[in-house]
Amino acid sequence: MITLALSKGRIFEETLPLLKAAGIQVLEDPETSRKLILGTNSPDVRVVLVRASDVPTYVQHGGADLGVVGRDVLIEHGVDGMYQPLDLNIARCRMSVAVRDDFDYAAAVKQGSRIRVATKYTEIARQHFADKGVHVDLIKLYGSMELAPLTGLADAIVDLVSTGNTLRANHLVEVEHIMEISSRLVVNQAALKLKREPLRRMIDAFASAIQA
Ligand code: ATP
Ligand code: PRP
């Protein structure tokens, strides 16, 4: 049995065409079913539905043989015990620094002021500001980062941006681009040895289906 860990929503939806290329069809729709283990048309392949931030934990500890996870989550979590054979080029967005449109970020950086930064991505933020030599106080949040500058909790946020609609709707502007984000295939290292043939076939099928 091969177990693939996916999160509901965009990663599930964007992985479906890759699975199809490998000849695999998921038999249930996670949006309508309450099941957490989904069968496929292949009796030897199943999909487990986990939170996006739990995918690396499942793969690392062998709860799943492989999974699909954002680069953001992977950097925050660490990659011990996993191979990352493919960038799947799905769930594409960017990690950015954003501030209120009336906050002079460049001046704050120039003055060397301590900047309060709210984010779910503390490791990415820590590395980014350390590289720039900017002093920051990091405030860990689990969601709705956009609210932090509007309520005075923080001066800036580090968050994912795709269309920019969320920032615009909250009178925030992007002031720094930290990195491009897409989702990767991650594979448990022990599973790759024990189930080499079926995993290799799946990795190869995914590789040939990746869109440029
Ligand atoms: P969790 O449920 O664990 O809190 P999450 O809510 O961030 O995670 P999703 O919103 O499903 O989970 O996002 C999954 C991945 O998709 C993210 O890790 C990121 O790599 C990517 N992503 C997030 N937002 C966007 C977006 N607006 N456009 C494109 N890709 C995105
Ligand atoms: C992510 C992210 C931003 C938003 C950015 O949230 O945390 O809030 O997407 O996307 P945008 O630039 O296109 O507005 P979330 O996963 O909640 O976004 P969703 O609304 O697409 O689910």
Dump pLDDT digits (tens) for 111-155: 999 999 999 999 999 999 999 999 999 999 999 999 999 999 999
80-101 tens-digit pLDDT:
999 999 999 999 999 999 999 9
Assess contact for 37 and 46: CB atoms under 8 A.
yes
Q: Which of 34, 33, 44 is nearest to 4 (CA)?
A: 44
Return the residue whose CA atom lies nearest to atom 15 of ligand 2.
160
Share of the chain above pLDDT 90, in %: 98
* Ligand 1 pocket, residues with Cβ under 6 angstroms: 7, 9-11, 51-53, 70, 72-73, 91-93, 160, 162, 181, 183
Q: Is 72 in the pocket of ligand 2 (CB under 6 A)?
A: no
Q: Which of 141, 165, 168 is nearest to 154 (CA)?
A: 141
Return the residue whose CA atom lies nearest to atom 1 of ligand 1.
52
**pLDDT value of residue 144:** 97
Starting from the CA of residue 158, give the closest ligand.
Answer: 2
173-205 tens-digit pLDDT:
999 999 999 999 999 999 999 999 999 999 999
Q: Is 170 in the pocket of ligand 2 (CB under 6 A)?
A: no
Residue 50, CB half-sphere, CA atoms under 13 Å: how many?
A: 20
26-63 tens-digit pLDDT:
999 999 999 999 999 999 999 999 999 999 999 999 99
Q: Is 159 in the pocket of ligand 2 (CB under 6 A)?
A: yes
Cα(21) to centroid(ligand 2), Å: 28
Closest ligand 2 atom number to CA of residue 143: 7
Starting from the CA of residue 69, give the closest ligand.
Answer: 1
Long-range contacts of 110-118 (CB under 8 A, 24+ apart): 115/155, 115/156, 116/153, 116/154, 116/155, 116/156, 117/154, 117/155, 117/156, 117/157, 117/158, 118/145, 118/148, 118/149, 118/153, 118/154, 118/156, 118/157, 118/158
Residue 141: other Cβ atoms inside 10 A: 18
Q: Is 161 in the pocket of ligand 2 (CB under 6 A)?
A: yes
Assess contact for 210 and 183: CB atoms under 8 A.
no
Phi, psi values for residue 66, rounded to 5°:
-150, 165
Q: Is 144 in the pocket of ligand 2 (CB under 6 A)?
A: no
**pLDDT value of residue 212:** 81
Return the residue whose CA atom lies nearest to atom 31 of ligand 1.
91
The b-or-e profile of 184-196 (16+ CB within 10 A means b, else e) is: bbbbbeebbeebe
Return the residue whose CA atom lies nearest to atom 8 of ligand 2.
166
CA dist 1 and 84 (Å) reads: 20
